Amino acid sequence: MKETRVIFRLHVPMEIKKKGKWFIANCPIVDVCTQGTTKAQAKKNLSDALILFFMSCYERGTLDAVLRSCGFYPASIDDEAADSGSYEAGKYIDVPLPFMIDKTKQTSCHHA
């Protein structure tokens, strides 16, 4: 097998509010917004927009800078229990980020 599919999953907060006939979906930590005529459509559109946002950042080589500018920093596994709880349970969206690994081009994934 020359290629392997890998999917990273992000679990990020979201907000959905109704404004007139539209549902507005927002991921406040990266300031990505979408809309839809139904709540489900707005959520799907937000997932699609987040995938495109993160993949675009990766492809342009700016993912690290974008995450840092949004306030991200590495946390230990134990920090999960210390979540401030600023977002209500169920107000998260899971976003798949699909990648392929071309094993014929892979030399070493870690550089010394």
Q: Which two tokens stand for residue 16?
A: 């959905």
Q: How confident is the model at residue 79 (pLDDT cuts 50, 70, 90)?
A: low
Does a structural domain hold residue 110? no
**Mean of all residue pLDDT scores within the chain:** 86
Q: What phi-psi label fits residue 34: left (phi over 0), alpha (psi between -120 and 50 degrees) or beta? A: beta
- Asked if pLDDT for residue 109 goes beyond 70, the answer is no
Tens of pLDDT, residues 12-55 = 999 999 999 999 999 999 999 999 999 999 999 999 999 999 99
Identify whether 40 is part of a domain. yes
Residue 53's domain is classified under what CATH number?
A: 3.30.160
Structural domains in the chain (count): 1
- Does residue 85 have a pLDDT over 60? no
Domain residues for the domain of 16 are 3-73+87-102
**Between residues 58 and 2, which one has the greater pLDDT?**
58
Residue 92 lies in a domain: yes
